[in-house]
Amino acid sequence: MNFGKQFLASLLGSTLAMVIAGSLLIFIFVGALVGGISSAFEGVGGGSDMNFDLGTEIEEGSVLHLTFDAPMAERGMELPFTLQFGSMEPETQLGLNHFLADMERAAEDDNIEGILMTADMISGYPSMLGEVRDALAKFKASGKWIVAWSEIYTQGAYWMSTVADEVYLHPEGGMDMSGMGMETTFYKRMLADLGVEMTVVRGPDNAYKSAVEPYLRDDLSEANREQLTAMLEDFWGRMGGDIAAARGMSMDVLNGHVNSLSVRLPQDAVSLGFVDGLMYEDELHAHLLEKGAAEDEDETSHALLMGYGQYHNPNAFEDLIQNLQVELGAAEESSDEDEANEDTADEGEANSVAVVFAVGAIESGAGDDATIGSERIAGALREARLDPEVGAVVLRVNSPGGSALASDVIWRETVLLKEAGKPVVASMSDLAASGGYYISCAADHILAQPNTITGSIGVFGVLPSAGKLLKERIGLDFDGVKLHDHANAISMHTPISGVALDAVNESVTHIYDSFIGHVAEGRGMTVEAVDEVARGRVWTGQDAMEIGLVDGMGNLQDAVAMAADMAGLEDFDLIEYPEPIDPFEQFISDFTGVAQMSAMAEAAGVPADAVQAMMEVEAFVNLEARDRVQARLPYHIRVY
């Protein structure tokens, strides 16, 4: 009897504890969400000085305020922000697809007087930033003005800002014009000191496949130095060329100022022609009012600024609440009616162009919005192929590559799309290298940006052995039995060698031969010609066009227009694949796994880029992984 009472009391107590804990979690989640809504809506590409009511119409004389203080992504989120694990703070994001469309709309919007850019720092690859700058140039070509002002210009932010008609700097501000460079960290000596040996296998003559060099060398190989120098020259050719043209100086003069660090004081920026003048913020607003901007009713002598997030979706708050209601079960919506409509819809002629976004490193499995999972992306391509309403497909690629196997799975679906008679245009963004090129090479037409990083046609595998570390430093010993000679050939404590190493090399060579064979078939080249420009060599988009790996230059919108034209579509709809991952599901999943590890590392002071790089290294040195052979770009590149 006493046991029964104790059991019931324990059960009741546990149940109440679970209910209370669950309620607390909901209150914490909702509280953090509501607490972050205001800052999130104000932070999506807009300034902190925005004063407007959510949901109101755009007033005449409004100035679109761009700060670029949120990371740029290929595809914008349905919600204006997500909650970040750990801090429970809102993380905003700019979608390139949204931005390009919104700049076209703003150019035709009679209520938008002009654009104010106040970008202190812009982080990203040269290619995507170049697309953003080109979109701003098109806006300016409509006859409307752009004014740039900042307290401090980083090099990337200044490059973007020079698209403006007028560029101003704070009187006590500064500029970073120190030029471009790249640096690689080498691990060979550290691994040797730890007692870890790295066995590296590469495709034949893949001398440029430098992702493995940090484990083999303590400096750059001549081949790697050659391709890095060529890549930087192309980057600076675009960036420096834009700056020089915008500011009316030659490249020689610009390079002279950069090499001598001539811009040291704010007045230097004026006297050397980098900016048009020095202004405090109140003087800036007075200048905007003189240019025709409306005055903000809530703040005297201030121009009426509208943040980009509010301009993109004036009803974002209402959309968020509706989404919350659906997700939390407050409003039950049946999809039966939608399914019925789909079932009864006429299967007429194709009237849509599908854009399939392939973003992130390539791996087997489902993946997510930041990772190319072969199942998810191949499934999206398959869905587009089987949909009678889809007449053409644009494969938007922003990937450094990854698993060779997963890349081949996706490549096969692009081939089947072409066999089904649907034109395929590959649109290369920042990266379409190695595996990213693999999944693009079968397209009917490939468009890139001049500074797209592509090529890197090659494969490698890394097989670590920590025998010295485990035995001599940690004190572990190993023994066992086996029935076959090479049953333990791949082991964490014994370097691979002999017949087993020969077998791995043969497998890597086979994958490389398949890779260049696919490229040759897709590009109409001989295998020998592909091999000459492959061998792991990284190319910029402009150089890739000259050697036949790319057909032309163009952005996502150009690719869509080309695909529609190839399919004979004039008035067409745009469909995006794959279905975005629900942000609330993503938030819950972030409590475990990769996001949690990343949050802990960042809390310890490890930069986010370094965390990403370390996790990618773990992916291809994991002996249990089925994707050990990689077709991956060896660099993480950002312009600041």
CATH number assigned to the domain comprising residue 519: 3.90.226.10
Residue 382: is its pLDDT beyond 90?
yes
Q: Are 431 and 304 found together in one domain?
A: no
543 and 426 in a single domain? The answer is yes
- Are 283 and 378 part of one and the same domain? no
CA-CA-CA-CA torsion sign (275, 163, 176, 228): negative
pLDDT at site 154: 93
CA 276/CA 468 separation, integer angstroms: 62
**Distance separating alpha carbons of residues 228 and 248, to the nearest angstrom:** 29
Tell me the chain's radius of gyration from C-alpha atoms.
27
Last-in-domain residue among 318, 341, 359 = 318
DSSP 250: -
Cβ-based burial of 351 (10 A; exposed 0-12, middle 13-18, buried ≥19): middle
DSSP characters over 8-45: HHHHHHHHHHHHHHHHHHHHHHHHHHHHHHHHHHHHSS
Provide mean pLDDT across the span 609-616.
Answer: 54
Output the pLDDT for position 637. 57
Residues 222-235 pLDDT 10s: 999 999 999 999 99
Domain boundary among 295, 318, 341: 318
Q: List, by residue number, the catalytic residues.
A: 209, 434
Note the pLDDT of residue 376: 95
Tell me: do 301 and 410 sit in the same domain.
no
Could you tell me if 357 and 313 lie in one domain? no
Mean pLDDT (whole number) for 442-465: 93
> Would you say residue 277 has pLDDT above 80?
yes
Query: Band of the pLDDT at 639, cuts 50, 70, 90?
Result: low
SS (H, E, C) 250-301: CHHHHHHHHHCCCCCCHHHHHHCCCCCEECCHHHHHHHHHHCCCCECCCCCC
Contact 50, 306 (CB under 8 A): yes
Q: Kindly state the percentage of the chain with pLDDT values over 90.
A: 54
Question: Could you tell me if residue 203 is inside a domain?
Answer: no
In tens, the pLDDT along 391-407 reads 999 999 999 999 999 99
How high is the pLDDT of residue 549?
98
Domain boundary (300, 318, 336) is at 318
Domain that holds residue 610: 350-477+485-632
pLDDT band for position 488 (cuts 50, 70, 90): confident
Which phi-psi region, left, alpha or beta, contains residue 153 (left: φ > 0; alpha: ψ -120 to 50)? beta
Confidence at 79, pLDDT banded by 50, 70, 90: low
pLDDT at 504: 87
Pair (363, 285) in one structural domain: no
Residues 463, 568: one domain? yes
pLDDT, average across residues 50-78:
76
Residue matched to tokens 């030659």: 250
Are residues 297 and 367 located together in one domain of the fold? Answer: no
Whether residues 313 and 358 share a domain: the answer is: no
pLDDT band at 54 (very low <50, low <70, confident <90, very high): very low
The tokens for 553 are 């230059």
- Quote the pLDDT of residue 310: 86
Same domain, residue pair 609 and 463: yes
pTM to 2 decimals? 0.78
pLDDT of 85-144, one tens digit each?
444 444 566 889 899 999 999 999 999 999 999 998 888 888 999 999 999 999 999 999
Least confident of 270-279, 303-312, 353-362, 490-499: 490-499
| pLDDT exceeds cutoff 50 at 24 | no
Which residues make beta-bridge pairs with 357? Answer: 396
Q: Indicate the number of domains in the chain.
A: 2
Whether the CB-CB separation of 489 and 581 falls below 8 Å is answered with: no
Confidence of residue 48 (pLDDT cuts 50, 70, 90): very low
